[in-house]
Structure 1
Amino acid sequence: YEIHIDNNGDVKEDITFQFRFKNNLKGIPLTIGSASVPIPLVQVGAVSNLNDANLNVNETYEVKVVRGDRRKGAVSSVTKTGGSATFEKPVDNIGTKTIPDYPAYAAKHIHTVTIPGCPAGKDQGKVFVGQRQEGFAVNLGPVFDLVNAPAAVLLDPANKDAAGNSGRHIIQRANNITTMALEVHKDCLTAGSETVIGGWTTASLRQARLINGAPASGNSNAEKAGGAWTQVSRLGNPLVNELVIGLPDKDKFNASQPKDDTQFLTYVSNPTLPALLSVVLGADVAPKNLPRTDLLTTFLTGITGVNKPATPAPGEMLRLNTAIAPVQFADQNRLGVAGEVLRVGGTANLAMAKDLAGFPNGRRPKDDVTDIALVAMVGGLCAINGSNDALKLNSVPGVPSLTSKCDATALSALMAQPGPNGLPNAANIHDAVDQATVPFLATFPYLNTPNAGSATY
């Protein structure tokens, strides 16, 4: 698993953090009669410490830093206090009898680390890998069931958590995920005077896999894997592969790199999602400004004055301007940059903005990226760009052949119509699940304690 950082705008990785995992089987036995018999479970009793004696399987990992090309660059190890390069991962939250105090147990697996190659005094960070409560709120069922909700509900801001309140949606509060969290000083990621970094993650497998039909005892003898590391998954901006890339090219996108993203330009410049929304909602919501230079700029180069590097090349990744000050959780606008521009009454009043640190300028846990993506898809960014092209969304850096008129005239009649709050419907569209209601922690790793596998009776 890799986290890639581009710090000069050429959409190629300059720094990569590589995570490699290992399961260590202890084979704890119990004496049954005269026989010593290995137990079938991952635990033999209560668990509270690192590599607890009652754990039958202890999972560990290493973190490498690669500077330059991910496969050819210089490699060095991230180390924890004491110098070890091996980190312990907590076992999942099996239940309260096995792990009575999971928050305290998990906290022991937050490691203070030294990151080689960073400026002096800026090389300290934190790493945590382990189970967390899912923090991404999205109304998956209705969205992928041909948007099974009336347009009147999805366009009324008063209903922004209607599904959340009903309890019928597939929100992740009841689900857990494995999280890889890394806290790094910004000066460790930037280069020179460029303050904008781009980031994306990938997962890779060995190219060949051979199943052993008669494995020996142990937990690593069922298969043999070899060959080059081959990328099988990729994520930068959320929902790109799910809702933008066409079905024939989803595997192709997962195996690709941002530097080659011009091959996918048509999916962004002429997106199908707005047209599909128009069909299933029975009303025209698709903007008229084709090619969609607003989407190409937002997702492939960054927005001028927000998160565009000085000399950007087009490539899909999550961009963050490290020069924009972060905002306290309570003051964050759930709709990110677009929501803040709308809050102050347009780009002419940007001096009044308090929060330009949200998606698509990075991605914070509180940012309602599903709603923001929907707003962008139906032309919400054109509604705030204005006739003077304040956000420079009428063209795409690096792709001079693509231009459009991204202003309020690009919106469909329905999306231009004012909603109950006076804002155009394009700014109000949502999936009826409010990201702001998801619980988070106030400190690293920020994602909440995972749900226990069993309840307390």
Structure 2
Amino acid sequence: MRTVLRAAALGVSVVCVASLAPVQSNASSHREAPLIAGTPGLDNTDLYAFVSPDMPDTVTMVASWQPFEEPNGGPNFYPFLEKTAYDINIDNNGDAKPDITYRWTFRSSYRNAGSFLYNTGPVTELGDGDLNFRQSYSLDRITPAGTKQVIKSARVAPSFTGKASMPNYGAVSDEAITAAGKVTSFAGQSDDPFFADLRVFDLLYGGDLSEVGEDTLKGYNVNTIALRVPKGDLALKGNVTRNPVVGIWSTTSRIGASMKGKAPVLQQVSRLGMPLVNEAVIPVGRKNEFNVSKPATDAKFGASVISPEVPKLIEAIYQIPAPATPRKDLVEVFLTGVCKACGPIAADLNSQMLNKDVVKKAFVPSEQLRLNMAVPPSDSPHRLGVIGGDLAGFPNGRRLADDVIDVTLQAAEGILLPNPPDAVKTLGDGVNGNSAGFRATFPYVALPNQDSVNKQ
């Protein structure tokens, strides 16, 4: 167990190294690339995947879009976009291609287009006639065998316009939880689950780590999609016992006009797997390229992984020596998952190579958030995940409360390597948890904030 913990945690350090910059910006992909920063409704902010703590025979995946939603952002507030595919992709055989894609597409309408109001009176339920702007969605499950519609028309939880307009928003939000057989889905506004001091971009906290501790994301909301499915729905050949590891990433694609006799063309514009990759690992000149790329082509970004920029910056600003390169351990954590046959980390944790029915010759290294579904939920979750001795946490998947920033800072600087500098042991952004409490049950995310951010 100690070997597994150390190795897996080392992987985290690796993960972090490559992701250090936004490490501190726990907002994994808030405005991470030049083009997507100008179209926030298409911007993936975070992706989470974990074994459901209250239903351990299932997995919950949570993906968020549209960063920095100020609560009082009327009159139009924050809709999901039409003519857009919001996808969560699963690779269970390690070939870096989606074996399963869950796709949400949205429709919008107004009850009274003659009014400027989002709601024309107090809204007490999803079907309330005073909710002027309404959204619904369909959910499809796409595999090489074809497309199956899981949900035909489900209601979206509206943006929280205020206590006068929505006196019991929690009840309205809960109405948007839709069950279809063993699958449960939610789409709507929520508090931004990520917590971090984003002053990291001011020369890594201005060169003074004593000036950390402000949760820059406090009070902001995001648009969130959550999905809970049986583990067997994700596992290779449906067999969780033989094939417990899956890789997951979310994408946003714009749907173009359909041609006669052909399906509408999809253009991918945003992508997110492991947190912080596009923000801190990929250089600015290639960030847009990463957002439109497919995992199967990730080898072209390898140089940024084996020789990451962040540790060099920390060495220059804080005089903490950067770990030696090339970072082959980073390659393992980011591109293959952790397994004894994958690289230098002597542990088996979360690579699809551990699945017994995987064709190893067909395995393709690629950037994904990997989850070993055989690891049960922790009775005492640790915010530092694997590095804190909790194998159910990041980077084995990612839970809402996992403190990616602190893990990244310390691990990236070698906390698990022999004789790390004493300074590494105290690294952190001073923000150890989310400002809002998470829900105990699906969809787990906290309800959206209502007070203006400048009042926080």
The TM-score with structure 2 as length reference comes to 0.71
1 or 2 for the larger relative contact order (CA 8 Å, sep ≥6)? 2
Match of 1:129 in 2: 187
For the residue of structure 2 that corresponds to 1:86, the secondary structure is strand
Match of 2:307 in 1: 270
Shift of 1:5: 0.2
Structure 2: runs of 5+ lacking an equivalent: 1-85, 340-347, 354-359
Contact 2:90–2:99 (CA<8 Å) still a contact in 1?
yes
* Backbone CA RMSD of aligned residues: 2.3
- Indicate whether 1:89 and 2:189 are aligned: no
Shift of 1:136: 0.2
Shift of 1:125: 2.0
Q: In 1, Cα distance between the equivalents of 2:449 and 2:276?
A: 25
C-alpha distance 298-77 of structure 1, shift in aligned 2 (>3 A): same
For the residue of structure 2 that corresponds to 1:337, the secondary structure is helix
- Indicate whether 1:15 and 2:100 are aligned: yes
Contact 1:65–1:76 (CA<8 Å) still a contact in 2?
yes
For the residue of structure 2 that corresponds to 1:198, the secondary structure is strand
Q: In 2, Cα distance between the equivalents of 1:25 and 1:453?
A: 26
Q: What amino acid is the match of 1:126?
A: T
Match of 1:67 in 2: 143
Pick aligned residue for 1:204 from 249, 253, 273: 253
Contact 1:60–1:89 (CA<8 Å) still a contact in 2?
yes
Contact 2:136–2:153 (CA<8 Å) still a contact in 1?
yes
Contact 1:132–1:447 (CA<8 Å) still a contact in 2?
yes
C-alpha distance 299-44 of structure 1, shift in aligned 2 (>3 A): same
Q: What amino acid is the match of 1:175?
A: Y
Contact 1:295–1:376 (CA<8 Å) still a contact in 2?
no
C-alpha distance 436-335 of structure 1, shift in aligned 2 (>3 A): farther
Q: Deviations over 1:134-183 (max 9, x none)?
A: 1101111x2011112555649xxxxxxx514xxxx41x231111100001
Shift of 1:300: 0.9
Q: What amino acid is the match of 2:204?
A: V
Contact 1:334–1:436 (CA<8 Å) still a contact in 2?
no
Contact 1:336–1:357 (CA<8 Å) still a contact in 2?
yes
Match of 1:315 in 2: 366
- Indicate whether 1:326 and 2:377 are aligned: yes
Q: In 2, Cα distance between the equivalents of 1:259 and 1:314?
A: 7
Segments of 4+ in structure 1 off by > 6 A? none
For the residue of structure 1 that corresponds to 2:187, the secondary structure is strand
- Indicate whether 1:231 and 2:278 are aligned: no
Shift of 1:435: 2.8
Match of 2:332 in 1: 297
Q: What amino acid is the match of 2:197?
A: N
Alignment of 1:29-428 (within 5 A): 38-68=114-144, 74-79=146-151, 85-114=152-181, 124-140=182-198, 142-150=199-207, 153=210, 163-164=213-214, 169-170=215-216, 172-192=217-237, 193-206=242-255, 228-281=265-318, 283-288=319-324, 290-304=325-339, 305-310=348-353, 311=360, 312-328=363-379, 331-340=380-389, 355-381=390-416, 383=417, 408=418, 416-418=420-422, 425-428=423-426
Q: What amino acid is the match of 2:386?
A: V
Identity of aligned residues (%): 37
Contact 2:191–2:436 (CA<8 Å) still a contact in 1?
no
Shift of 1:263: 0.3
Shift of 1:50: 2.0
Q: Deviations over 1:59-80 (max 9, x none)?
A: 1111111013xxxx5111113x
Q: What amino acid is the match of 2:281?
A: V
C-alpha distance 102-438 of structure 1, shift in aligned 2 (>3 A): closer
Q: What amino acid is the match of 2:291?
A: N
Q: What amino acid is the match of 2:190?
A: R
Q: Deviations over 1:14-36 (max 9, x none)?
A: 000011011112226xxxxxxxx
Highest Rg: 1 or 2? Answer: 1
For the residue of structure 2 that corresponds to 1:184, the secondary structure is strand
For the residue of structure 2 that corresponds to 1:17, the secondary structure is strand
Contact 1:196–1:321 (CA<8 Å) still a contact in 2?
yes
The TM-score with structure 1 as length reference comes to 0.71
Q: In 2, Cα distance between the equivalents of 1:299 and 1:427?
A: 23
Contact 2:141–2:149 (CA<8 Å) still a contact in 1?
yes
Contact 1:11–1:258 (CA<8 Å) still a contact in 2?
yes
For the residue of structure 1 that corresponds to 2:268, the secondary structure is strand
Q: What amino acid is the match of 1:25?
A: Y
